[in-house]
Structure 1
Amino acid sequence: MRLTTHEPAGYECPFCSLQNGVFDDHNQASDVVAVTDRAYARVAPKWWPANAGGALVMPRRHVENLYEMKPADGHAVWDLTQQVARAMRLSYGCQGVSMRQHNEPAGDQDVWHLHVQVLPRYRDDRLYQQHLDARWAHVDERRPFADRLRSALPPPNSFV
């Protein structure tokens, strides 16, 4: 059953574009840290002040939100989310991780391709109080975090 879509007509999905080799300031090949048949993970381009290096895990197939997710894709996303969380904990030296996933505008979704955010957490980091202070990180800032996660995960496969 398809619920109402919020994806505008002619929407160019940044996550699908990244898989197809279309790059821009927020999407670079160097951001990708792991790829499976059904899911992929990348370092997020948007960071909160005390939580640099967050990651996004998403299905390879374009799906707008959780309501439309096929079970096999959901399992693949969840499995990769767990791997990324473990790799983040080991390679960043963070004290924990938080995960969140948003659906529809009222649920705070702002990219119309399902994704799970995996965020490094530190004692007293005030992540949820600093939502409005998030900023776009330059690819050169993202690269060392992607390298650390990539080295702690099994080798990624090509998108091709």
Structure 2
Amino acid sequence: MRPISHEPAGYSCPFCRLQRDEFNDRNQPTDVIAVTDRAYARIAPKWWPGNPGAALVVPRGHIENLYTMPPDDGHAVWDLTQRVAVAMRDAYGCDGTSTRQHNEPAGNQDVWHLHVHVFPRYTDDRLYQRHDHARWIGVSERADFAHQLRSALAMPVTFG
């Protein structure tokens, strides 16, 4: 079965824009917490109640979903996801972490560039029951969490 693209014509990808230094209230250079040759991690601009400081791990190349991701990019994304999860436990002192990745509209994908969510988890936080309570987070509220993860990861943070 051949993958079907759901990306609209003329789509302006927020994850690609961030790499091109095109900023807005949801994409700031201060959101970036780690960069490798094939992937990068950033503080998520949208959080769920009880799980502040969530992060996203993104392949650097524009890849719509898991079905078409080249293995080298998949390895880079997963390796960085693991590093972010470990850093999150150390930096936040959370009880655990969860990862989540969505494909196609029926799978709840709403950004047409693959990304892995990394959530800090706390006992009884009800993350999966609060999907409708997510909210966009301002730059200043994201900054402290980004700083904590950036410090814990101690990796490059520029796309150069």
Give distance in 1, aligned partners of 2:31 and 2:20.
14
1:135 counterpart = 2:135: yes
In 2 relative to 1, CA 47–157 (structure 1 residues): closer, same or farther, beyond 3 Å? closer
Matching of residues 8-157 of structure 1 within 5 Å: 8-157=8-157
Deviations 1:4-55 (A, max 9, x none): 1000000000000000000011110000000000000000000011000000
Structure 1 residues 139-158: Cα deviation after superposition (integer angstroms, max 9, x where no partner):
10000000000000032142
Kept in 2: contact 1:2–1:68 (CA 8 A): no
TM-score for the superposition, normalised by structure 1: 0.98
| SS of alignment partner, residue 119 of structure 1 | strand
Normalising by structure 2, what TM-score? 0.98
After TM superposition, the structure 1 stretch with the greater mean CA deviation from structure 2, 150-159 or 64-73, is 150-159
Superposed CA RMSD: 0.9
What's the % identity of the aligned pairs?
Answer: 69
Deviations 1:40-88 (A, max 9, x none): 0000000011000000001000000000100000000000000000000
The runs of 5 or more residues in structure 2 that have no matched partner are none
Q: Which amino acid aligns with 2:46?
A: K
Deviation at 1:130, TM superposition (A): 0.7
Runs of 4+ in structure 1 off by over 4 angstroms are none
In structure 1, list runs of 5 or more residues that go unmatched. Answer: none
Secondary structure class of the residue paired with 2:5: coil
Tell me the SS of whatever aligns to 2:89. helix
Aligned partners of 1:58, 1:20: CA distance in 2, in Å?
14
Measure the CA separation in 2 of the matches of 1:66 and 1:135.
Answer: 25
Q: Tell me, in whole angstroms, the C-alpha distance in 1 between the residues paired with 2:83 and 2:2.
A: 30
